[in-house]
Amino acid sequence: MKKVLTQWAAACVALMAGLGTAGAQAPAAGKLSGDVVRIGVLTDISGTYADISGKGAVEAVKMAVEDFGGRMFGKPIEVVFADHQNKADVGAAKAREWFDAGGVDMINDLANSGVALAVAGVAKEKKRHVIVNNSSNVGITNAQCSPYAVHYTYDAYSLAHGTGRTIVEAGGDSWFFLTVDFAFGIGLEQQVSDVVRNAKGRVVGAARHPLGTTDFSSYMLQAQASKARIIGLASTGNDTINAIKAAQEFGITKNQKLAALLLWINDVHALGLQTAQGLQLTNAWYWDMNDETRAFARRYFQRVGQMPNMAHAGDYSSTMHYLKAIQAAGSDDPDAVSARMREMPINDMFAKGGRIRADGRMVHDMYLWEVKTPAESKYAWDYLKLVKTIPAAQAFMPLEQSTCYLVKK
């Protein structure tokens, strides 16, 4: 597999470099504060979400900078990164330090919804940009919205109206939730609960567990006792992996069905197809969708040693979009760049016809996938098959429902 990937990477580097830099030659004149564009990747380097975010997010952003050409108006583009430790106060403090003293113009990734919400608040105060690629809480484009915050890859609404709605329509009319106890899990549980109730289904109960839980025994007993048809896992990363393993150990999957509301290809890889087969998941992107996604993914694999997930692809795409907006504005002035980001369409390996709305939500197609059986998988990381495409207009919260103050009612 390594040899094949190397051959693919060699064949695709020139193609992707050309795609990334096409039209990205900076004009002779332009204004940059501090004579540099500095991008900060604030992520989970060592915790629960390290595999789905972490160093992979840093590499994806670096790839975008390199493909852009590494310079803006003849000045350098730099990437710095830090570990927020999944603590909102740590994330907010680092963002404030970066904006006040570090010369950071934009912060990307932001795994962990609590951290993302806190950092979005700092960005609004400081009039600097944040792009959220690895968090789901819809507050980013509602209560915590600003001209400087963009929610790019996915959110709880898109997950609930993808996986959640599909399972309800297939007869999953009673739900019990196992929810990670912070903003991400609570928001996801709420979104899916609304979908269930609107479809005349029932939410019969919920149990909340701390981030980084390894022993799900007591939670599984509660879920089993609920007799709900569906156990909704409002968690992600290692929490979801451990919950799925525990459910199988307790024999729960014989009589009840699991709904992994945010499952990543990294999670499937960790679980193995024998365990994960048949699970459905909503994702914005999959590495094996087409030639463009495969070209990016194989370059990424050479740097990281695993295939990218949707957030890594979003980190790359959003960084490129931000840099193109600076170029088009002729300046890194935050307000001018914000306007350009909302004017310019997004057409790349991540999304076709994507656009950023007034509330900061980047709207694009989402996809419902099913994990393949071991017999269906033909090569390494061949894990998902497409169930259906969810058009952009249906995938995200309608703009008229947004409570963002920037939306004209």
383 and 357 within one domain: no
Same-domain pairing of 32 and 102: yes
Same domain membership, residue 107 and residue 11: yes
Over the stretch 334-381, which tens digit does the pLDDT of each residue have? 999 999 999 999 999 999 999 999 999 999 999 999 999 999 999 999
Model pLDDT, residue 394: 93
Q: Note whether 261 and 163 are same-domain residues.
A: yes
Report yes or no on 86 lying in a domain.
yes
Going by their DSSP bridges, the two strands 257-260 and 366-371 should be labelled as unpaired
Q: Is residue 251 domain-resident?
A: yes
pLDDT number for residue 352: 97
Residue 187 shares a structural domain with residue 78: no
Residue 167, judged by CB atoms within 10 A of its CB (0-12, 13-18, 19+), counts as: buried
Encode pLDDT of 45-81 as tens digits. 999 899 999 999 999 999 999 999 999 999 999 999 9
Are residues 174 and 279 located together in one domain of the fold? yes
Mean pLDDT calculated for residue range 121-135:
97
- The number of distinct structural domains making up the chain is 2
pLDDT at 303: 97
Average pLDDT over residues 275-299: 96
Is residue 406 assigned to a domain? no
The model's confidence at residue 409, banded by pLDDT at 50, 70 and 90, is low
Q: For the domain that residue 260 is a member of, what is the CATH number?
A: 3.40.50.2300
**Close Cβ partners of 240 (under 8 Å, ≥ 6 residues apart):** 233, 260, 262, 263, 267
pLDDT for 26? 41
> Are 9 and 145 within one domain?
yes
> Per residue in 36-46, pLDDT tens?
999 999 999 99
- Whether residue 407 is contained in a domain is answered as no
Are 312 and 197 members of one domain?
A: no
Tell whether 359 is covered by a domain. yes
How far lies 145's CA from each of 157, 210, 360, in Å? Answer: 16, 27, 7
* Structural domain for 354, as ranges: 2-154+290-364
As a whole number of angstroms, the distance between CA 362 and CA 325 comes to: 15
Q: Answer yes or no: do 353 and 380 share one domain.
A: no
Mean pLDDT of the chain: 92
* Residues 309, 315, 316: CA angle, nearest 5 degrees: 95
Give me the mean pLDDT over the 232-244 stretch.
93
Shared domain for 74 and 129, answered yes or no, is yes
Q: Is 42 within the bounds of a domain?
A: yes
The 3-state secondary structure of the chain, one letter per residue:
CHHHHHHHHHHHHHHHHHHHHCCCCCCCCCECHHHCEEEEEEECCCCCCCCCCHHHHHHHHHHHHHHHCCEECCEEEEEEEEECCCCHHHHHHHHHHHHHCCCCCEEEECCCHHHHHHHHHHHHHHCCEEEECCCCCHHHHCCCCCCCEEECCCCHHHHHHHHHHHHHHCCCCEEEEEEECCHHHHHHHHHHHHHHHHCCCEEEEEEEECCCCCCCHHHHHHHHHHCCCEEEEECCCHHHHHHHHHHHHCCHHHCCEEEECCCCHHHHHHHCHHHHCCCEEEECCCCCCCHHHHHHHHHHHHHHCCCCCHHHHHHHHHHHHHHHHHHHHCECCHHHHHHHHHHCCECCCCCCCEEECCCCEEECCEEEEEECCCCCCCCCCCCEEEEEEECHHHHCCCHHHCCCCCCCC
Euclidean distance between CA atoms 96 and 278, whole angstroms:
44
The total number of residues shown for the chain amounts to: 409
- Looking at the domain assignment, is residue 220 inside a domain? yes
Q: Which residue has the tokens 């479809």?
A: 199
Predicted pLDDT at 255: 92
